[in-house]
């Protein structure tokens, strides 16, 4: 297992290198720049800014300099938030996004898995139809529709919860964003669990267990273990997306997470901030996909990484 992890980490290096290279040149090839304003700066001031941030140098020199700094753990200064480095901005935003995303992911797995299991055990009955209807609605209705509805109903209508703001992570401020993030993932997990569990319940080994008269809890233990494999495959990229923050949800609720800085960086052509978020997301995707592969070996004894 340790050798497999080492090989995966080594294989991730060229992948990450390609992501950094492509992102670096794409963000700079696009028209405009970080200091292009509606009211243009004086030529001398613009020249000084370009010199200070080293974007007056040839593009290949900027690229090699960025790689060298990145190798030493330096993500560079932010072009827009000029009093902060990219590492400082992401260091403050990432824990917020991870807290919301991790809670939403746990909620989606627990509730979605339970609903999917109920739908599979009550296939083609009223409970199954209710689960599939709710799951379809959760998949089709986007976050930018769900979030304002929750704000109108629970924030303005009943006045139970605040409509936005972070308030140092107070639990009342996190409920609506977490629910908004969790609903689409919950729907997908429910659909995957239902479909996979129906297939597992029809498999030969589960039929043998039922024929031998074993208790339902034993059967469900084996069925759920087999049905979890497709869900685990989906959770890799889903977890990376949730843990790094939802751009739409965080902006609607005014949460200072990763999504906010990604939008600010893109709109203001903050090269280093955009690169920092891209690298962070890429690293999380690679690590979480590797964790998914390792989880396969724990769930399915037929899988070996020797």
Q: Identify the pLDDT of residue 157.
A: 84
pLDDT above 70 for 278: yes
pLDDT above 70 for 162: yes
Q: Identify the pLDDT of residue 1.
A: 64
Name the pLDDT band for 33 (thresholds 50, 70, 90): low
H helix intervals, 122-203: 126-140, 143-150, 171-201
Taking each helix axis as running N to C, give the angle between helix 271-299 and helix 2-29, from 0 to 180 degrees, rounded to the nearest 10: 150
What is the rounded distance in angstroms from the CA atom of residue 64 to the CA atom of residue 56?
Answer: 14
Q: Identify the pLDDT of residue 156.
A: 83
Name the pLDDT band for 29 (thresholds 50, 70, 90): confident
- Record the pTM: 0.79
Query: N- to C-terminal Cα distance for the chain?
Result: 6
Higher-pLDDT residue of 301, 165: 165
C-beta contacts of 62-66 below 8 A and 24+ residues apart: 62/28, 63/21, 63/24, 63/25, 66/24, 66/275
Higher-pLDDT residue of 264, 185: 185
Name the pLDDT band for 4 (thresholds 50, 70, 90): low
Taking each helix axis as running N to C, give the angle between helix 86-121 and helix 271-299, from 0 to 180 degrees, rounded to the nearest 10: 40
**Polymer length in residues for the chain:** 306
Range of weakest confidence among 44-53, 214-223, 254-263: 214-223
Name the pLDDT band for 136 (thresholds 50, 70, 90): confident
Taking each helix axis as running N to C, give the angle between helix 216-243 and helix 171-201, from 0 to 180 degrees, rounded to the nearest 10: 130
Do residues 104 and 185 touch, judged by C-beta distance below 8 A? yes
Q: Which CATH class is domain 93-255+279-299?
A: mainly alpha
pLDDT, mean over the chain: 80
Q: Residue 77 in 3-state DSSP?
A: strand
Range of weakest confidence among 34-38, 114-118, 134-138: 34-38
Q: Residue 85 in 3-state DSSP?
A: strand
Percent of the chain with pLDDT over 70: 83
Percent of the chain with pLDDT over 90: 1
Domain ranges (residues) in the chain: 93-255+279-299
pLDDT tens column, 200-241: 777 766 667 666 666 666 666 666 776 777 788 788 778 877
Name the pLDDT band for 301 (thresholds 50, 70, 90): low
pLDDT above 70 for 148: yes
Do residues 158 and 165 touch, judged by C-beta distance below 8 A? no
Name the pLDDT band for 305 (thresholds 50, 70, 90): low
């Amino acid at each position: 297992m340790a050798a497999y992890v080492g090989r995966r980490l080594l294989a991730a290096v060229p992948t990450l290198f390609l992501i950094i290279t492509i992102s670096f040149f794409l963000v700079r090839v696009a028209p405009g720049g970080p200091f292009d304003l509606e009211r243009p700066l004086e030529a001398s001031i613009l020249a000084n800014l370009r010199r200070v941030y080293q974007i007056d140098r040839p593009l290949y020199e900027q690229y090699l300099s960025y790689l060298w700094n990145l190798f030493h753990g330096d993500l560079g200064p932010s072009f827009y938030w000029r009093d902060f480095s990219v590492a400082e901005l992401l260091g403050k935003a990432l824990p917020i996004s991870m807290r919301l995303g991790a809670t939403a992911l746990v909620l989606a797995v627990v509730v979605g898995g339970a609903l999917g299991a109920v739908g599979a055990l009550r296939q083609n009955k009223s409970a199954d139809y209710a689960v599939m209807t709710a799951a379809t609605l959760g998949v089709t209705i986007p976050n930018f529709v769900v979030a304002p509805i929750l704000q109108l109903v629970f924030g303005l209508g009943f006045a139970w919860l605040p409509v936005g703001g972070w308030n140092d992570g107070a639990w009342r401020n996190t409920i609506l964003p977490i629910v908004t993030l969790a609903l689409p993932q919950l729907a997908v997990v429910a659909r995957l669990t239902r479909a996979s569990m129906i297939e597992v319940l029809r498999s030969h080994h589960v039929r043998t267990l039922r024929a031998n008269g074993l208790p339902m809890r034993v059967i469900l233990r084996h069925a759920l273990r087999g049905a979890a494999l497709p869900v685990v495959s989906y959770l890799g990229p889903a977890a990376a997306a949730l843990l790094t923050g939802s751009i739409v949800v965080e902006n609607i609720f005014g949460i200072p997470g990763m999504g906010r800085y990604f939008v600010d960086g893109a709109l203001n052509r903050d090269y280093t901030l955009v690169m920092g978020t891209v690298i962070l997301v890429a690293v999380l995707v690679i690590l979480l996909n590797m964790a998914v592969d390792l989880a396969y070996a724990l769930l399915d004894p037929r899988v070996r990484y020797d």
